[in-house]
Amino acid sequence: MLSTFYYIRQNDLDDTYRYAQILFNDPEDLMHKASGWMLREAGKRDIPRLENFLTRHAPAMPRTMLRYAIEKLPAAKRKHLMGLR
């Protein structure tokens, strides 16, 4: 997951979102943290895309991944997205 950081810096976000979705069911909490971190970084480049992804996938996402991904969003949006779980 961390390897996508290079591509995020190049504004190529596709792999980040694809890999994050694949890792929803990973048993390792550290993978959820890394995925949430990379989603947050991708959101710095394209916030509407992040919000769209989170709105669609928040119910299926591990709590840790979602928490890391929404860390820098405004409080109202964080509350809304956590409520989707």
> Over the stretch 53-77, which tens digit does the pLDDT of each residue have?
999 999 999 999 999 999 999 999 9
The answer to whether the predicted template modeling score (pTM) of the entire model surpasses 0.85 is: yes
Split into its structural domains, the chain has a count of 1
DSSP 2: T
> Which domain does 36 fall in, by range?
4-83
Tokens of 28: 């390792």
- What Cα–Cα distance (Å) separates residue 53 from each residue in 11, 13, 42, 43? 16, 12, 11, 10
Residues 6+ apart with CB under 8 A from 32: 23, 26, 62, 64, 65, 68
Q: What is the pLDDT of the chain when averaged over all its residues?
A: 97
